[in-house]
């Protein structure tokens, strides 16, 4: 999934951002571009995909549904570009259809 986004992002990323990341981290410009592309791709994950992925991850660790949905709702509100508020019912519908 991330590979598709990275190909889409080439040439779209702000050159000033790439310069800043390279200068502040000591990465080469090419490495800085790969890091920025990876971070952007991570945050562009569709909400439904994020909810299903996090629910599955939390279930592996024994987190019960109510606590999982509460945690996921809180995490969604903290995303860089936060999606609209989703109720627990909406989260359940994303996971279970």
Kindly give the confidence (pLDDT) of every residue in the chain, 97 residues in length, as a single tens digit, with 9 standing for 90 and above. Answer: 434 444 445 556 888 999 999 999 999 999 999 999 999 888 888 999 999 999 999 999 999 999 999 999 999 988 886 678 889 999 999 999 9
CA distance 33 to 53: 26
Phi-psi region of 82 (alpha: psi -120 to 50; beta: other; left: phi over 0): beta
Beta strands per DSSP E along the chain: none
Phi-psi region of 13 (alpha: psi -120 to 50; beta: other; left: phi over 0): beta
Q: Is the pTM of this model over 0.75?
A: no
CA distance 55 to 91: 9
CB atoms within 10 A of CB 86: 19
């Amino acid at each position: 999934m991330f590979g598709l986004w990275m190909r889409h992002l080439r040439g779209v990323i702000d050159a000033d951002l790439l310069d800043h990341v390279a200068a502040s981290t000591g990465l080469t410009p090419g490495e800085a571009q790969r890091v920025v592309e990876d971070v952007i791709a991570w945050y562009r994950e569709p909400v439904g995909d994020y909810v299903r992925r996090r629910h599955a991850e939390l279930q592996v660790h024994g987190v019960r549904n109510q606590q999982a949905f509460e945690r996921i709702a809180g995490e969604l509100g903290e995303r860089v570009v936060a999606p609209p508020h989703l109720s627990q019912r909406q989260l359940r519908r994303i996971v279970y259809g």
